[in-house]
């Protein structure tokens, strides 16, 4: 069995092409070994030390390593795991609840797609043929969700979040009826943002924090305020940056706590190492 490989731009991700179908349709991403219980193939790959995530596609298996791991020792082991799977006769997927980064239940009204069928078809075609190849090549994810009030909501992960501005510019060029592009999680209810304290923290970020962060190409977005916790998202140049945790803990969190003493924790909804979103999974 000959398996071709392709190293992605980030150096931490390799695509493995076994020369046969992996999934009949769709795409499955497993963020850890526990999530991979639905896939014997992914379980075998996670048995290799240093594997961070596994994504199964139509004809490929995309594997990302942790920052401390080394492909020199990992790559032969991953190749062996893939070969072992395809010679075992085991299925790629078994019957199990679908693995997703989405919350267990999103508000029903968030699922209504207001896009005109012709506009929807054009959007999906542009995303599939022009945008997704670049996003996946960089180790990211993108998926059409819905259109509400002229805003296109997408599932974005990894490099997809970093490329959001470029994606928006392209889609708005071809389809002027699209006013903005947002990650679909932006549509989820965030009651804390409507409170006086939530609005005060939002102003503080815009006036005190973001001007400094913007000088480095980054942006801090306020996601929600729950009790004594503030949830933010590091965007732009901050997303995936090796100094993201330092920026959060030694900079943003200190400033917010100083201005709002009742806040006990400032949490980033994106785990920059694995791409998980613990806030949205809660």
* Nearest alpha carbon to residue 200 among 176, 171, 222: 222
Is residue 180 domain-shared with residue 202, that is, in the same domain? no
Tell me: the pLDDT tens digits for 139-169?
Answer: 888 889 888 888 898 888 777 777 888 899 9
Q: How many domains does the chain have?
A: 3
Is residue 176 domain-shared with residue 200, that is, in the same domain? no
Look over the chain and give the mean of its residue pLDDT values, rounded to a whole number.
79
Question: Is the pLDDT score of 101 beyond 50?
Answer: no
Question: Is the pLDDT score of 247 beyond 60?
Answer: no
pLDDT of residue 126: 92
Is residue 95, in this structure, part of any structural domain at all? no
Question: Domain residues for 213?
Answer: 191-281
Domain boundary among 154, 187, 220: 187
* Nearest alpha carbon to residue 17 among 51, 62, 84, 71: 62
Is residue 100, in this structure, part of any structural domain at all? no
Which of 39-48, 200-209, 211-220 holds the top average pLDDT?
Answer: 39-48
Is residue 174 domain-shared with residue 256, that is, in the same domain? no
The CATH number of the domain holding residue 223 is 3.30.300.130
Alpha-carbon distance 74 to 199, whole Å? 48
Is residue 195 domain-shared with residue 276, that is, in the same domain? yes
What are the phi and psi torsion angles at 63 (to 5°)? Answer: -120, 130
Is residue 261, in this structure, part of any structural domain at all? yes
Any long-range contacts for 148-152 (C-beta under 8 Å, 24+ apart)? 148/110, 148/112, 148/113, 148/114, 148/187, 149/114, 149/179, 150/177, 150/178, 150/179, 150/180, 151/178, 151/179, 151/180, 151/181, 151/182, 152/123, 152/178, 152/180, 152/181, 152/182
Tell me: the pLDDT tens digits for 213-224?
Answer: 766 666 777 888
The CATH number of the domain holding residue 80 is 3.30.1370.70
Confidence of residue 250 (pLDDT cuts 50, 70, 90): low
Domain boundary among 88, 122, 152: 88
Is residue 162, in this structure, part of any structural domain at all? yes
Higher pLDDT, 24 or 123: 123
């Amino acid at each position: 069995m000959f398996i071709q490989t392709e190293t992605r731009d980030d150096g931490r991700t390799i695509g493995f092409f076994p020369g046969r179908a992996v999934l009949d349709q769709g795409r499955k991403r497993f963020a850890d070994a526990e999530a991979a219980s639905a896939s014997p193939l992914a379980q075998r790959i996670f048995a290799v030390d240093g594997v961070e995530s596994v994504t199964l596609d139509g004809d490929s298996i995309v594997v990302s390593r942790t920052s401390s791991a080394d492909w020199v020792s990992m790559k032969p082991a991953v190749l062996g795991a893939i070969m072992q799977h395809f010679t075992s006769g085991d299925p790629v997927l078994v019957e199990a609840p679908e693995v997703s980064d989405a919350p267990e239940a999103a508000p029903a009204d968030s699922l209504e797609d207001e896009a005109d069928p012709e506009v929807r078809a054009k959007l999906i075609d542009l995303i599939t043929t022009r945008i997704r190849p670049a996003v996946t090549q960089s180790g990211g994810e993108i998926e059409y969700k819905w259109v509400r009030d002229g805003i296109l909501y997408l599932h974005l992960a990894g490099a997809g979040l970093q490329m959001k501005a470029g994606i928006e510019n392209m889609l708005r060029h071809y389809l002027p009826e699209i006013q903005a592009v947002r990650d679909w999680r932006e549509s989820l209810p965030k009651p804390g943002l409507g409170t006086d304290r939530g609005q005060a923290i939002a102003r503080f970020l815009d006036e005190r924090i973001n001007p400094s962060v913007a000088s480095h190409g980054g942006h801090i977005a306020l996601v929600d305020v729950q009790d004594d916790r503030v949830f933010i998202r590091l965007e732009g140049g901050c997303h995936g940056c090796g100094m993201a945790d330092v920026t959060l803990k030694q900079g943003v969190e200190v400033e917010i706590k100083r201005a709002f003493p009742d806040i006990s924790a400032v949490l980033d909804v994106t785990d920059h190492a694995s791409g998980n979103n613990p806030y949205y999974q809660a």
